[in-house]
């Protein structure tokens, strides 16, 4: 079974003490009008006169006794957060390091379940590959870890149709996207249909690669193509410019989109805390 970071229990305890919503984190607070909709909770939305199309069971009979008129009470319904964790399983992820990648996602899923959230895991490449839906509370942790343990990394990445499929099929309120983002078509605009997005970028900087040869053989893990490229100061600057342009796509993200950039040498725990703070913001 895949392991989670030892600090996860401490993160759960500390964050539960910090958050005023720790008792019911899966529910969106009904005093926030952005998330409220008409329903059957105990939060009164409106009082109006009875219309012929209304259900007789909704009539306030006590008020009728006092006024001799028929009134309907409408209530808000608290809407459950639909958290979807979208996990890239393309062939380029092993270049970053699958152990770090799996552990990060597993640990975050562990924390979310401990805090009472219901999560949904979906693996993708060019399409949706597999899913593990409606994972609830602590009893769902083994199920989530088992799903992540069985991930197989192959094929390429095509995020735009994948995001469209997730939106149309599941309509998540909050989306976590775990990927190395090796997809030139993806921009922040493709994330606009989602109310809240956590873009978690597993990134290997070019500067961390020590290349001493005059020529370098490069293999694209997603397509399998091999290229023999010259490597000199001009080529280095060209690659650095490409890298800069690649990262600029995600800077200045819109409200509701949080971007986190991770490298394999970074400690994971501070990122868990930052994500949770943003989730409860």
The model's pLDDT over 196-216, given as tens digits with 9 standing for 90+, comes to 999 999 998 877 666 666 666
Number of structural domains, the chain?
Answer: 2
What mean pLDDT do residues 102-117 have?
A: 94
Please tell me whether residues 64 and 129 are part of one structural domain. no
Please tell me whether residues 55 and 176 are part of one structural domain. no
* 189 DSSP assignment: G
In this predicted structure, the answer to whether residue 132 has a pLDDT above a threshold of 50 is: yes
- 39-43, 97-101, 106-110, 260-264: segment of lowest average pLDDT: 39-43
Please tell me whether residues 85 and 190 are part of one structural domain. yes
The CATH number given to whatever domain includes residue 170 is 3.40.50.410
CB neighbour list of residue 118: distance below 8 Å, 6 or more residues apart: 26, 80, 81, 82, 83, 134, 135, 136, 137
Q: Between 225 and 139, where is the model more confident?
A: 139
Q: 219, 228 in Cβ contact below 8 A? A: no
Give the end of a domain, one of 77, 92, 108: 77
31 domain-assigned: no
What mean pLDDT do residues 76-88 have?
A: 74
Full domain range(s) for residue 268: 8-18+80-279
pLDDT digits (tens, 9 = 90+) for 35-66: 444 444 445 556 778 777 677 777 888 888 88
Please tell me whether residues 71 and 160 are part of one structural domain. no
* pLDDT value of residue 43: 52
CB neighbour list of residue 65: distance below 8 Å, 6 or more residues apart: none
- Strand locations in 18-170 (E): 37-39, 43-49, 71-77, 83-88, 118-124, 128-136
User: What average pLDDT is seen over the chain?
Assistant: 81
Between helix 141-149 and helix 98-114 the angle, nearest 10°, is 170
What mean pLDDT do residues 102-122 have?
A: 94
Half-sphere exposure of 29 (CA within 13 A, CB side): 9
25 domain-assigned: no
Name the pLDDT band for 174 (thresholds 50, 70, 90). very high
Name the pLDDT band for 267 (thresholds 50, 70, 90). very high
- 96-100, 117-121, 160-164, 245-249: segment of lowest average pLDDT: 245-249
Interatomic CA distance for residues 75 and 161, integer angstroms: 37
Please tell me whether residues 162 and 73 are part of one structural domain. no
* pLDDT value of residue 74: 67
In this predicted structure, the answer to whether residue 120 has a pLDDT above a threshold of 70 is: yes
Please tell me whether residues 221 and 266 are part of one structural domain. yes
Please tell me whether residues 177 and 208 are part of one structural domain. yes
Helices (H) and strands (E) in the chain, counts: 8, 11
247 domain-assigned: yes
- Strand locations in the chain (E): 37-39, 43-49, 71-77, 83-88, 118-124, 128-136, 174-179, 196-202, 215-219, 226-230, 257-262
């Amino acid at each position: 079974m895949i392991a989670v970071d030892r600090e996860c229990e401490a993160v759960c305890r500390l964050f539960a003490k910090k958050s005023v919503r720790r008792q019911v984190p899966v529910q969106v607070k009904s005093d926030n009008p952005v998330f409220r909709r008409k329903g059957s909770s105990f939060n009164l939305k409106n009082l109006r006169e009875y219309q012929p199309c209304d259900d007789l069971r909704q009539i306030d009979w006590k008020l009728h006794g006092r006024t001799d008129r028929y009134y309907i009470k409408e209530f808000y319904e608290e809407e459950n957060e639909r958290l979807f964790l979208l996990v890239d399983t393309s062939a380029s992820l092993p270049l970053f390091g699958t152990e770090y990648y799996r552990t990060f996602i597993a640990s975050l899923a562990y924390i979310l379940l401990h805090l009472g959230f219901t999560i949904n895991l979906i693996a993708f490449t060019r399409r949706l590959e597999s899913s593990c839906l409606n994972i609830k509370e602590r009893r769902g942790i083994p199920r989530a870890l088992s799903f992540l343990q069985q991930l197989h990394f192959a094929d390429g990445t095509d995020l735009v149709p994948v995001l469209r499929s997730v939106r149309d099929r599941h309509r998540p309120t909050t989306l976590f996207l775990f990927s190395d983002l090796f997809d030139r078509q993806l921009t922040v605009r493709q994330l606009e249909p989602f109310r809240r997005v956590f873009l978690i970028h597993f990134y290997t900087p070019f500067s961390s690669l020590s290349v001493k040869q005059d020529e370098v053989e490069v293999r694209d893990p997603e397509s399998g193509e091999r290229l023999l490229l010259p490597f000199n100061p001009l080529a280095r600057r060209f690659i650095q410019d490409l890298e800069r342009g690649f990262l600029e796509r995600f800077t200045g993200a819109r409200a509701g989109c949080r971007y986190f950039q991770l490298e394999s040498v970074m400690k994971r725990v501070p990122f868990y805390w930052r994500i949770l703070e943003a989730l409860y913001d």
